[in-house]
Structures are given as C-alpha cells and as structure tokens.
Amino acid sequence: MFDDLPEALNLADRFLDARIREGRGERTALIAGERRVSYAEVHAAANRFANVLVELGVEAEERVIVALPDIPGYVAALFGTLKNGSVVVMVNPGLKPDNVAYFYDYTRARVAVVHADDLEAFSEAALGARDLDALLVVGAGDRSLPAALAGPAKGSVVGRRGGPVRVLDLDQRMAAASAEFENYPTHRDDGAIWLFSGGTTGQPKAVVQTHGSYANTTALYGQGVMGYTEKDITLSVPKLYFGYGTGANLLFPFSVGATSILFPDRCTADRLFELIRKHRPTLLINVPTMIGHMVRHERAAEQDLSCLRVATSAGEALPVELYERWKKAFGVELCDGLGTAEMWHVFLTNRPGDVRPGTLGRAVPGFDVKVADDEGRECAPGEVGYLWVRGASRAIQYWHSMPKTMRAFRGEWYVSEDMLHRDADGYFIYCGRGDDMLKVGGKWLAPQEVENCLLQHPAVKECAVVGVVNDEGLTKPHAFVIASESRDGLDEELKAFVRERLEPYKAPRHVAIVDSLPRTHLGKIDRGKLRRG
C-alpha cells in the first residue's frame, strides 16, 4: 500500500503547485468574505512565506506554530512551511497564555505565526519560551508592534539565537519577499503536520503525521469515497487547525482544484445559514453539536440547503435521533464517520447512497478495520471491543511519549481506545471511548445509547452521560443536560423517560440541568471534567 506513493513527496507540491502546472492557476481556491483568491495567488503567497522562513534561518524539520484564524494567510503559512521542509504545528489561536506556553516548550517551535488580534496571549507566553526566535504577526496594519518582547538586559529567557524574541510584521516581510521558491525535497515519511490528541487527561500530545499520510487519505476517502471534484465548494464547521477541517476544507478540495470557503469568526447556525445562502456550497463539513444547533434553529424550516450534495459528521458520535431530525429538517444526506489523529482522518464512514443511521458505516477501501478484545483477538459480530485499524496513513509516533506510542502502535496497526462492535453486514457501531464505557451492575453501558434516548425528549437540547463512582465505590451513570425548557421536576422526568425506553440499569441515577458542557481544546465534550465534577 505504501508503494502507491512516490518516495519523493512534498504536500505543498502535490496539493498546490500541481494545480498551477495543470493550468488551474486562475481558478478560485478560496472564498474569504468578499475576496476570491485564486490558486495562483495562494501559490505566490506560500512561496513568499517560505522565503520569509529562509530569511529567518528556519530549516527543514524544524517546527513552525501556525495559530491563525481561518483566513487566506493560514493557507499561505501552512503550504509555505511545507515548501520549506519544515513541520506545521496547528494550534488553536484562542488559547490562554499558559496553554500557549505549553505548546512553545513542548514543540520547540522556532517561530509562531499569529494574528494581531491574538498577539497579547502569544506574546505573554513567549517571554519564557526557550526555543522561540520570532513571532510573525498577520494583520498588524497601522498597529505599532514592539521590535522584541524582552532582551537579556531584562533577565528574560531569550530565543535560541541568544537574543530577544523578535516581533515581526509578516505582511510587510511577505510583500518584500520573492514569489518564487524551490520546494524542499521531502520524503513521504518525513513529518509534515502535527495533530494533537484530545487532551481530556493531561496535556495534549502531538501525533507526528507524514506527507504520505495526508496524500493517502485524500486519495482514498476525499476522492475515492466522498467524490471531491473541481466543481465542489466546501464549507466547514471545524476550523483549519482541527485535522478534520484541514482535510475536508483544504487538502481534499485543493487536491482536485475545488473551492474552500473560509470565515474567521465563531461558527453559529446563523452564520452557516448566511454563508450557505450567499455561496451555495456543495459539501458541508459538520459536527453533531452544530447539527443540533441547526435543526433547533427557530428559522430552520425556512432554510434552503438544496445546494448541498452531501454533509458529513465526525468528531463525536452522531445519535440516530439527531440524524433523523437533520434529514427531516433539510433533506440532505448526512454521512457520519470516524477518524483519529493517529490515522489523520476518516477511515470508517457512511457514504452517499449507503447510509445506515446509528452506525459509522463501513471501512474506507485501503484501510483494514477490526474489533478486538484486550488480548488482541478479533471479536465476533455484535461483541464490543477495541478498534484496530491499519493503512498507509498511520502516524509515526506521539512526540515525547514512547510508552503511549508503544501501546497505540503495534506493527502495522493502530489500536485505539475507541470501543465499537460490528454487525453481520460489516457496519461498525460506536460505543464510546474505553475510559467512557461504563460497567454498571456487571453489564457494559454505552453512554451514547443513553444520550440518544435523552435527545428524544423535547426538553433536551444537548446532553452527555458519564460514569461517576458513588460512596460505595460503584460506577453509576450521571447525565448532564442542556435543556430547552428548564422546570421543576425535569430531572426526575428525564430519569423516568429513559427507564421507560431502555433497560433499568441504563437510566441515569442523577440528572444535572446545566447551562453549558465543558469542552477540550478541540471542541469535544470534556467527559473527564464532568466525571471529576
């Protein structure tokens, strides 16, 4: 399977430069507000960014943090870093200083690319960064930037080159840089883009993914299963720093000369409906939380989503009830799937014309997927076990975490903490993370099953079910519910609602009505925090 990819492989060349060689330079690559950016313009900007890195002395395999909102500058920085043979570290631009400081030290990044609106947090964290040499600031405009954050005279920790961390206006630097660049000859097995695990327990760990991984899944899933073509226009709920969005809203469309819609502001149902009305995308990359917001919107019935040939869902399990509400509201096929940072993107999916609600669909051709027990023995259909997957998109390692690497990567296989079962037809059903699955009264309980039941109640907008250990040391299911209408006695009403529909042991022992649910840095429900109270 690896022989299908050439050894000499650079993602920037494969996904961007190749479009120029094909004569597609004038096609629209990005829609950003009122701007339409051509492939030729993206290509020139990426080359300029690569030249800026060379001027700063950033070399192949060194890390570059890209912490930008979804703007054209993000795309230029990502491809420009890859052109230089350096490694992209995608970071949420909205992080607090202490979280930013962790990423500086953990990744040993040479430079970080940030927007002027987010400079304060990244500047504060940079004062103690050991290896950081410069902050490259996008969108400074007329704002006055300090030449440096601190210097040796102030007793600060300085950049690797012995001087203070510099603050540079990236827009000015790129305007003066050449639009020509010769790509670094990376190998398909070189690190390309670091992704991060969820970080629900401890700090997130980097998953080192290669140029070959991104090329492989793009061909197998993006083109092979989802059928991306140059006529597509994509719109994504997940931002580009999230691997699901990086693929579905950037690499997949760029691989065929299609168009991506970018917007930097917070994603809401209103914003999505506005963008759909204005730009008429053909693919919507979605997540269950936003699917819920869209179907519950007060003007959902007025929306015309007929431009969409398909929508996808991933990142969290999609309850059957939510799928049915979506189909009833919008009439657009919704394909739920599963991907992991360790395999980069989706390898289990429903597909257009072949959707079985409540399942993750079947394996993407080119990937082998099985369900196995604690000893690695394959489970029979219907038996719950751990997810094992292999294919040419397997990551190299977790950065600076050999024990975790050895547990997860076993020969060709990646062994996930996700628990599933497979039906007789080869469709996989998600049960939960291994540490989320509950053993109640000696029986397995999948939180997703209880959550799906709760979502059928008209008062439930969103919910999460976790196991909480009681005073006797026994694990019992607790539900946390965001209600559309909070009222006295709703908690007992919801308990009874579940007991009427599921086996009694599955009913939550406690229901908490909450205003919001905690999220990880990737936007997923932080179940660990719910368990800890």
At 204 the pLDDT is 87
Find residue 476's DSSP bridge partners: 468
Residues near 126 by Cβ (< 8 Å), separated by ≥ 6? 100, 104, 112, 132, 135, 149, 165
CA atoms within a 13 Å half-sphere pointing along the CA-CB vector of 442: 0
Helix (H, G, I), strand (E, B) or coil at 148: strand
Find out whether 70 and 33 touch, Cβ atoms under 8 Å.
Answer: no
Q: Read off the DSSP letter of residue 190.
A: S
Helices marked H in 265-319:
269-279, 288-296
Residue scoring higher pLDDT (159 or 377): 377
Cα 514–chain centre separation: 26
Judged against a pLDDT cut of 70, whether residue 531 lies above it is answered with yes
Q: What CATH code is assigned to 206-433?
A: 3.40.50.12780
Measured between alpha carbons, how far is 228 from 393 in angstroms, rounded to an integer? Answer: 19
Model confidence band, residue 239 (pLDDT cutoffs 50, 70, 90):
very high
Model confidence band, residue 442 (pLDDT cutoffs 50, 70, 90):
low
Model confidence band, residue 72 (pLDDT cutoffs 50, 70, 90):
very high
521: which 2 tokens?
Answer: 């840095």
At 177 the pLDDT is 98
pLDDT digits (tens, 9 = 90+) for 118-166: 999 999 999 888 899 999 999 999 888 988 875 443 334 445 555 689 9
Mean pLDDT of the chain: 92
Model confidence band, residue 264 (pLDDT cutoffs 50, 70, 90):
very high
Model confidence band, residue 427 (pLDDT cutoffs 50, 70, 90):
very high
Beta strands per DSSP E along 250-384: 259-262, 283-286, 310-313, 334-339, 346-349, 362-363, 368-372
Helices marked H in 313-425:
320-330, 402-408
pLDDT digits (tens, 9 = 90+) for 24-66: 999 999 999 999 999 999 999 999 999 999 999 999 999 999 9
Element (DSSP H or E) covering residue 420 = strand 413-422
Rg, Å, the chain Cα set: 23
| Percent of the chain predicted with pLDDT > 90 | 79
Helix (H, G, I), strand (E, B) or coil at 140: coil
At 158 the pLDDT is 43
Q: What is the mean pLDDT of residues 419-444?
A: 82
Q: Read off the DSSP letter of residue 526.
A: -
User: Of 157-166, 373-382, 443-452, where does mean pLDDT reach its minimum?
Assistant: 157-166
Angle at alpha carbon of residue 206, lines to 200 and 208, rounded to 5°: 145
Residue scoring higher pLDDT (520 or 138): 138
What single-letter amino acid sits at 498?
V
Judged against a pLDDT cut of 50, whether residue 474 lies above it is answered with yes
Judged against a pLDDT cut of 80, whether residue 473 lies above it is answered with no
Measured between alpha carbons, how far is 361 from 84 in angstroms, rounded to an integer? Answer: 38
CA atoms within a 13 Å half-sphere pointing along the CA-CB vector of 284: 28
415 phi and psi angles, rounded to 5 deg = -105, 115
Find out whether 205 and 399 touch, Cβ atoms under 8 Å.
Answer: yes
Domain(s) labelled CATH 3.40.50.12780 in the chain stretch across: 2-186, 206-433
| Percent of the chain predicted with pLDDT > 70 | 94
Q: What is the mean pLDDT of residues 323-346?
A: 96
Measured between alpha carbons, how far is 161 from 9 in angstroms, rounded to an integer? Answer: 31
Domain(s) labelled CATH 3.30.300.30 in the chain stretch across: 438-532
Model confidence band, residue 434 (pLDDT cutoffs 50, 70, 90):
confident
Q: What is the mean pLDDT of residues 276-297?
A: 95
Cα 369–chain centre separation: 21
383 phi and psi angles, rounded to 5 deg = -85, 135
At 200 the pLDDT is 47
The count of other CB atoms within 10 Å of the CB of residue 55 is 12
337: which 2 tokens?
Answer: 């799937």
The residue among 145, 80, 85, 158 whose CA lies nearest residue 115 is 145
Plot region of 473 (φ>0 → left; ψ -120 to 50 → alpha; else → beta): left
At 154 the pLDDT is 36
Find out whether 91 and 125 touch, Cβ atoms under 8 Å.
Answer: no
At 290 the pLDDT is 93
Q: Read off the DSSP letter of residue 6.
A: -
Model confidence band, residue 475 (pLDDT cutoffs 50, 70, 90):
confident
In DSSP notation, 206-263 reads EEEEEHHHHHHHIIIIIITTS---TT-EEEESS-TTSHHHHIIIIIHHHHHT-EEEE-
Class of domain 438-532: alpha beta
Q: How far is CA 229 from CA 86, 100, 263, 283, in A?
A: 29, 37, 22, 11
Measured between alpha carbons, how far is 464 from 474 in angstroms, rounded to an integer? Answer: 19
What single-letter amino acid sits at 130?
R
At 150 the pLDDT is 56
What single-letter amino acid sits at 60?
A
Angle at alpha carbon of residue 323, lines to 293 and 462, rounded to 5°: 40
Measured between alpha carbons, how far is 325 from 203 in angstroms, rounded to an integer? Answer: 36
User: Of 11-15, 355-359, 519-523, where does mean pLDDT reach its minimum?
Assistant: 519-523
The CATH architecture assigned to 2-186 reads 3-Layer(aba) Sandwich (3.40)
Residues near 61 by Cβ (< 8 Å), separated by ≥ 6? 85, 86, 87, 190, 191
